[in-house]
Structure 1
């Protein structure tokens, strides 16, 4: 039945028979047959059908919760037995908000030194996408904001507090400053992340508290795009202090700390709320905890 439950999870995730089948590497008729067999085994209709996928029935929505739990537990069991045989190994799928990608590299590099048999696939996603992917078993863990918007049922480990800086061209009037106040950004030629990014919502909140209405002329979901525009000398951007340092290194750019309001947010590792965790995720959460303790010192 496990393979049928995985088919059902994929269908619920994709909301389309063709895309779900493609994601599983099977044909659409095989997927349809598997869903019908699952319905027959359970004795309930799981999916509304017409000329196309019509969503889950109430029974289907409940079965989806069970399916995610059962498939997650089976994967955990397999991973635990593999760890017994081979030590920590396999591929770990992580997703991180763009502003945390440098911290992810720090975590995975340290982990790989201790456990060379583990491989990583790392994706850049919004905080909302990370939660959805975790729920749908598409990733094993994520690095995201912990204290700004609801996370739901997850295991979380704080890693660091985010501070913010202005990034400007070396010729900008702000480049010589020791710090800049948020209120001084009124009317500045801003380029910022898009509104679907939680970091942008935090920046909007900080600007609003300083009496500034952000009116960026450039928006992008890529921090590389933002920094490329700043490098032309026509714009400034606001980025987390750590990421700003990484992206401005070796360029004619200057990172200037923002000094008010002094509101930062905590980022950390999250995983599905499961007991036990897989051996690999247990070790990764422990590594995240070590980083959090070091950052707090």
Structure 2
């Protein structure tokens, strides 16, 4: 039953039988047979069928909630038994907003030093994708904003408060400044993250509070692309302070605090709301708490 529920979750996630089979590493006929057997066991049709994926039936929607709970419980049982046998081990899959990747490195490094038998997969995703992946059991935890947009029913541990820096090259008129007001960026050549990123929505709100709305002529979902344009093209950008210092280190670039509006949002670890958590996830949440206290 658990294996068939895993198949059901994969199809619901991918919305395509072929991609779902590929994600599970099985042949599509095997997947289709498994879904049909699950439907026979439950006595309902889970998917609308046609020449294309037709979506979940109403019964399938209700079954999806149960499937996530049951599969999550089964995975937790396996983790608990493995912990009792081998101690803290396994793999943690963590999705991280791009602006918090340096903090993800800190968390996993410090945690890994204490628990060397735990492996990590770190993915860069926007905040909405992180919540979706948590719900679909595609990741074990995420690092995202905690206080800007709704996060749903999740467990959280704050890591740090975000502040913002102007990043410019040494030829910029801002280069010698100790601080820059947000409103001074109104007419500047600016490049920013894409609007699907929560950081961009936060920055846009701060611009609005300053009474301006500069036009970003270059948008990217990569902070590396933004810094490269500042370095080579004479643009400016706005980044969180920790990430700005990391990306500009050793380069002929300047980072200058932005002032003039109230800023600062909490970024932290998010995990599916479940009591108790798996041993490795409990330890990760505890490490995040220790880091924030430090």
Q: Could you tell me which residue of structure 1 aligns to residue 263 of structure 2?
A: 263
Give the stretch that moved more between structures: 203-212 or 46-55.
Answer: 46-55
Q: How far off its partner does 1:233 sit?
A: 4.8
TM-score scaled by length of structure 1: 0.98
Q: For residues 122 and 260 of structure 1, what CA distance do their matches in structure 2 show?
A: 35
Q: How does 1:1-297 map to 2 (within 5 A)?
A: 1-294=1-294
Structure 1, residues 220-245: CA drift from partner, whole Å, max 9, x if none? 00000000000025100000011000
Q: For residues 178 and 50 of structure 2, what CA distance do their matches in structure 1 show?
A: 64
Structure 1, residues 139-172: CA drift from partner, whole Å, max 9, x if none? 0000000111111111111111100000000111
Q: For residues 193 and 130 of structure 2, what CA distance do their matches in structure 1 show?
A: 17
Q: How far off its partner does 1:66 sit?
A: 0.5
Query: In structure 2, the residue corresponding to 1:176 is in which secondary structure?
Result: coil
Structure 1, residues 108-143: CA drift from partner, whole Å, max 9, x if none? 000011000001000000000001111111100000
Question: Unpaired runs of 5+ in structure 2?
Answer: none
Q: Is the 8 A contact 1:192 1:237 kept in 2?
A: yes
Q: For residues 212 and 272 of structure 1, what CA distance do their matches in structure 2 show?
A: 38
Q: For residues 247 and 14 of structure 1, what CA distance do their matches in structure 2 show?
A: 34
TM-score scaled by length of structure 2: 0.99
Query: In structure 2, the residue corresponding to 1:55 is in which secondary structure?
Result: coil
Q: For residues 275 and 47 of structure 1, what CA distance do their matches in structure 2 show?
A: 31
Structure 1, residues 16-69: CA drift from partner, whole Å, max 9, x if none? 010001101111111111111111111111111112220001110010010011
Query: In structure 2, the residue corresponding to 1:174 is in which secondary structure?
Result: coil
Q: Is the 8 A contact 1:172 1:233 kept in 2?
A: no
How many pairs are equivalent? 294
Question: Unpaired runs of 5+ in structure 1?
Answer: none
Q: For residues 76 and 260 of structure 1, what CA distance do their matches in structure 2 show?
A: 47
Q: How far off its partner does 1:214 sit?
A: 2.2
Q: For residues 49 and 233 of structure 2, what CA distance do their matches in structure 1 show?
A: 56
Q: For residues 250 and 12 of structure 1, what CA distance do their matches in structure 2 show?
A: 46
